[in-house]
Amino acid sequence: MANELEFVKSWLKDPGSSARGLPASAYTDEAFWQAECDTVLSRNWVCAGFAHELKEAGDAMPVSVAGWPLLLVRNTGGEIAAFHNVCRHRCLTLVDAPKNVGKLIRCPYHAWAYDLSGKLRASPHFGGMDDNQPEGFDPAENGLRPVRIAVWHDWIFINLDGNAPEFENYAAPLINRLEGVDFSKVSPIASLDFGEIRTNWKFIMENFIEPYHVQFVHSSTTDQPLGDHYTIVDGVCLGSAVDLKQETGTSGSLGVSSRYLTLFPNFIVGRYFPDQLGVYLNIPLGAGKTAQRRALYTTEGQQLSKTDIEGLKKLWWDVHKEDHEMCERLQLGRASPVAEEGGLLSPHWEDSVRAFQELVARSVSDLDEQQTGKT
């Protein structure tokens, strides 16, 4: 790992390296992935779920952030809380699939139980038969461990180390670029689950924020000329956009003015004028594995027919599968020694990709400097 970090630090410092992307090891090396877990995915606000999927008190959703098993729960006060998805007794994962747990989160192993605020309510026979609380055992000190959470509209974010800026300050560049959206009228209408994709999570993000590929990869599913696109580099908000003089989209093709925006590290939102949003939940699972889901929204309170919704689902399924093929082939290409040089980046169309990679590189380099300081 030391060699990879030295390479990344030299890549950051060398002005000439701006023409090239990150080396292959940043996408394939397990040690680099662990460094990302310890920095990029722990110190920032990571998108982890959709609030509309937790409708009722007791609804629980297991999620993974930086490789940690976490649990999202809607409590009796109607709020969504996040905990480590681990029993305090023997550290069993408590919930292994989305479900309603009722009033208690109960461990299936020895029946320890926690209420929806995480307080330990039962530890049966822990000190012996009918002795639930042996001497020296304090239930108040053994509830579920909470995790810092922010719910922004329908989107749930987690900050594992607890030290990120307040969410609305952190996300201000993205929030400002969504000005004009009346979120009180934003409604989920459908979702797509793509399962696991055989690619590094960064390829999913980089693909979204560069417009260079659109007219080549999506020639049959979009009608957005390359020349009408431009990139967006605004702190932790990176992306691209297209302004069309004439909207040409149909149910089978996307031909509307759009904003393709991200919030570092893993949040993606697409705004499609005049009346749709799409949000991707990208879940990094390892150096070469990412899970992805997408939620579709209307933004003006309009009602779509079942046929219209099915048409949108098919369109976005097709667009995503086109992207996934490219991302998986990007991953395969990193097995070549040619990829150690990082590949070339367009100074015009892929400056957003370079900015994203610099955010990653600075984060993992900071970990290296902290570790050096401790020795």
46-50, 247-251, 252-256: lowest mean pLDDT where? 247-251
Among the candidates 108, 135, 150, a domain finishes at 150
237-246, 256-265, 311-320, 329-338: lowest mean pLDDT where? 237-246
Tally the C-alpha atoms within 13 A of residue 275's C-alpha that lie toward its C-beta. Answer: 11
**Do 220 and 315 fall into the same domain?**
yes
Task: Please check whether residue 341 lies inside any domain of the structure.
Answer: yes
Distance between CA atoms of residues 141 and 38, nearest Å: 26
DSSP structure class, residue 101? -
Q: What is the pLDDT of residue 314?
A: 94
**Do 340 and 234 fall into the same domain?**
yes
pLDDT confidence band for 367 (50 / 70 / 90): low
Task: Please check whether residue 75 lies inside any domain of the structure.
Answer: yes
Among the candidates 115, 150, 185, a domain finishes at 150
**Do 188 and 264 fall into the same domain?**
yes
| Model confidence at 4: pLDDT above 70 | no
Tokens of 334: 């990193």
**Do 122 and 261 fall into the same domain?**
no
Q: What is the pLDDT of residue 256?
A: 86
Top mean-pLDDT range of 9-13, 170-174, 297-301:
170-174
Q: Compare 245 and 293 and report the one with higher pLDDT.
A: 293
Among the candidates 92, 117, 150, a domain finishes at 150
Q: What is the CATH number of the domain that holds 344?
A: 3.90.380.10
Task: Please check whether residue 198 lies inside any domain of the structure.
Answer: yes
Quick one: CA dihedral 350, 351, 353, 354, positive or negative? positive
| Model confidence at 129: pLDDT above 80 | yes
Distance between CA atoms of residues 144 and 128, nearest Å: 23
Tokens of 300: 């003006």
Q: What is the pLDDT of residue 250?
A: 47
Task: Please check whether residue 291 lies inside any domain of the structure.
Answer: yes
What b/e sequence results for 299-316 when a residue is b if at least 16 CB atoms lie within 10 Å of its CB, and e otherwise? beeeebeeeeeeebbebb
Q: Compare 292 and 4 and report the one with higher pLDDT.
A: 292
**Do 347 and 224 fall into the same domain?**
yes
Distance between CA atoms of residues 193 and 51, nearest Å: 16
**Do 183 and 315 fall into the same domain?**
yes
| Model confidence at 248: pLDDT above 80 | no
The string of DSSP codes covering 244-276 is: -SS---BTTBB-S-EEEEEETTTEEEEEETTTE
pLDDT tens digits, one per residue of 34-67:
999 999 999 999 999 999 999 999 999 999 999 9
pLDDT tens digits, one per residue of 139-190:
999 999 999 999 999 999 999 999 999 999 999 999 999 998 999 999 999 9
| Model confidence at 17: pLDDT above 70 | no
Task: Please check whether residue 21 lies inside any domain of the structure.
Answer: no
**Do 75 and 183 fall into the same domain?**
no
Task: Please check whether residue 27 lies inside any domain of the structure.
Answer: no
**Do 223 and 315 fall into the same domain?**
yes
**Do 252 and 114 fall into the same domain?**
no
Integer angstrom CA distances of residue 251 from 38, 238, 304, 332: 42, 28, 12, 33
Domains contained in the chain, number: 2
**Do 187 and 227 fall into the same domain?**
yes
Omega prior to 274 cis, within 30 of 0: yes
Task: Please check whether residue 7 lies inside any domain of the structure.
Answer: no
| Model confidence at 192: pLDDT above 70 | yes
**Region of residue 268 (left: phi > 0; alpha: psi -120 to 50; beta: else):** beta
Q: What is the pLDDT of residue 1?
A: 59
Task: Please check whether residue 63 lies inside any domain of the structure.
Answer: yes
Q: What is the pLDDT of residue 374?
A: 47
Q: What is the pLDDT of residue 326?
A: 98
**Do 258 and 345 fall into the same domain?**
yes
**Do 182 and 109 fall into the same domain?**
no
Work out the average pLDDT over 18-30. 92
Q: Which domain holds residue 109?
A: 46-150
Q: What is the CATH number of the domain that holds 109?
A: 2.102.10.10
